[in-house]
Every structure is written in C-alpha cells, then in structure tokens.
Amino acid sequence: MKTKLWLSVAGAALLSGCTFVELSPHADEVLVLKPHQARECEQLRRSTSQVLDKVWFVNRNKEKMAEELETLARNTAAELGGNAVVADSDIEPGGKQRFIIYNCPHLR
C-alpha cells in the first residue's frame, strides 16, 4: 500500500513539472509586455487562458503555470493578428488568467 501511494505522489510530482502547452509557430513572434510597454499599441481584445492548477490533487508550480498561460495567450494573439500580450490579472483559482491582446506596429 505504501508503495502505491509513493508511486502516485511521485507520478503527480513529475506531471506537475511537465509542459502541457506548446507555442504555435506563428506565436513565436508575439511578445509578452508589461502594461507601460503597450502604451503606443492598439488593443484588439481581451482573452482568458486556463491551465490545470492541480494534478491528482497536487498543486502545480506557479511559475510553470504562468509560463503555460503566457504561451496560450501568445497562441491566441497570433490567431487574432496581434503581436503582443499583457497580463490583465494574476493567476486565479482554477488556473485562469486574463490577458489583453495588442497590435503594436512599432514592434513589427
């Protein structure tokens, strides 16, 4: 019984470090900016990204979640013709984060 529990915990720990989100080829050029860097940009729309915040009842690493949320936001921006994103919230319970998608002609 202890072995099964240990294997479950070890598996969850390994999975929590895995990246589940891949950057699309077009999103490679989308930048992640701070709000003050987007002053000269045109806001296209807002979007919400979401990733798993727990794997087998184990909380995921916040840094890894932030990386995946940014990747999802960059993918969305590329699909909508934007070239930059700015986080519009902190990571919320449930692994959600809001972003603003921008078109920044001066950054192209």
Residue 12: the pLDDT is 47
Q: What is the DSSP string of 23-47?
A: --GGGGG-EEE-GGGGTTSEEEEEE
Where in the sequence is the domain holding 98, given as residue range(s)?
2-107
- Please state, rounded to an integer, the average pLDDT across all residues of the chain: 86
Rg (alpha carbons) of the chain, rounded to whole number: 17
| Entry pTM | 0.79
Comparison of pLDDT for 17 and 92, the residue scoring more? 92
Q: Report strand pairing: 31-33 vs 54-55.
A: unpaired
Residue 4, pLDDT score? 47
Mean pLDDT of 23-42: 96
Query: Which ranges in 1-108 belong to alpha helices (H)?
Result: 2-16, 62-79
Instruction: Pick the more confident residue, 70 or 15.
Output: 70
CA 107 to chain CA centroid, nearest Å:
21
Domains in the chain, number: 1
Here the tokens at position 100 are 């603003």
Provide the percentage of residues in the chain whose pLDDT is more than 90: 68
Q: What is the CATH number of the domain that holds 103?
A: 3.30.1660.10
Return all residues near 68 (Cβ < 8 A) that are at least 6 apart. 19, 20, 21, 51
